[in-house]
Amino acid sequence: MGKLEFAIRRVFQLILTLWAVGTMLFVIFRLMPGDPTSYILSPGMDAQARQQIIENFGLNAPMHEQYISFLSNAIFLDFGRSFHTSEPVQDVIFRLLPNTLILMLTAFAMAYSIGIVLGVFVGANRGTSFEKGGIVLALVQRSMPTFWVGILVLWVFGIWLDVIPMSGMRSAGGSPDSFLSMLFTLDFVWHLIAPAACLAFYAMGYPLLLMRNSMLEILGEEFIDVCEAKGLKRRTVLFKHAARNAFLPIVTAAAVSLGFAVGGSVLIETVFGWPGLGREMVRAVIRRDFPVAQGAFIMLAGFVITMNFVADLAYGYLDPRVTYD
């Protein structure tokens, strides 16, 4: 099997997975107990007005017709209108998605830049207390729930020391001219540091351990002995020769980690009140806003699936030893 054939097959698998996710979401939300119109229908409405609102949202149609309409519209990223605000769901998603991406990418950059450097030194100091401490640190980071770390950070640095904001991504009363202008303000950075650091704290353990294991393999190769025999400095051997060759597993695993960072961002956004897509998804589930919840779930699931697809392709292109036979 060639790389092109493999890529085409993975594209079909990606589409099939997205269809399965969308179908499960459609069924699950409609099997949930309770009336989804309870948030939009007033008890004082007469029967005719209530029926008109239900028809406007298409909730009176047979289930199979709702399913076909849902799939055909989802292809064009049309998930209907919010039950709560009557705003088009795609407008809600594309308004909040940049906030989630900024938080997630910042945390990802922090986690991998620090984790990779620590992994190099941990792998280079095998058998020492530094290596044992690095492994323990990574395991602790991976075992601590992100929402618990976020609550702890808010309690210590937000309530007790009062050095970080408690919620949001800008101070009250701030009204930047545009989203881009807000990104380059100190107020935005001040609000971003705490949630990004909490998310990075959890994600840092994976690249640290992966880089450490990869370094252990590379440092045992003969070309490392040749570099050391030439009298090269230890730092040059570690970063210019060993780390560059140990970096391949990190690059390919980074795509998968970036996708799964979405799950952590949902919890962090909820704890820190970050106005992103993850927090909106949780709020939509609570108020049974089917269209918004479905749209948010599908967008985040699509991001995870796409990152897995990128990782699969990256293996073959970055490492010529990988074959698809």
Question: Residue 318: its pLDDT value, please?
Answer: 64
CB under 8 Å to 176, separation ≥6 — which residues? 170, 182, 185
Nearest to 275 by CA among 168, 176, 151: 168
Based on the structure, what is the number of domains in the chain? Answer: 2
At residue 25 the predicted structure's pLDDT band, cuts being 50, 70 and 90, is confident
Question: Which of 75-89, 110-124, 253-267 is predicted with the least confidence, judged by mean pLDDT?
Answer: 253-267
Structure tokens at 77: 């990223």
User: Do 42 and 95 reside in the same domain of the chain?
Assistant: no
Half-sphere exposure of 241 (CA within 13 A, CB side): 20
Question: Residue 173: its pLDDT value, please?
Answer: 63
80 in a domain, yes or no?
A: no
State the residue range of the domain holding 279: 91-318
The CATH number linked to 212 is 1.10.3720.10
Structure confidence by residue, pLDDT tens digits, 262-302: 767 788 888 898 888 888 888 888 888 888 888 888 888 88
pLDDT surpasses 60 at 1: no
CA distance 124 to 118: 10
Q: What is the mean pLDDT of residues 163-172?
A: 80
User: Do 47 and 182 reside in the same domain of the chain?
Assistant: no
Query: What is the chain's mean pLDDT, rounded?
Result: 81
Question: Residue 43: its pLDDT value, please?
Answer: 61
323 in a domain, yes or no?
A: no
Structure confidence by residue, pLDDT tens digits, 42-60: 666 666 766 776 776 677 7
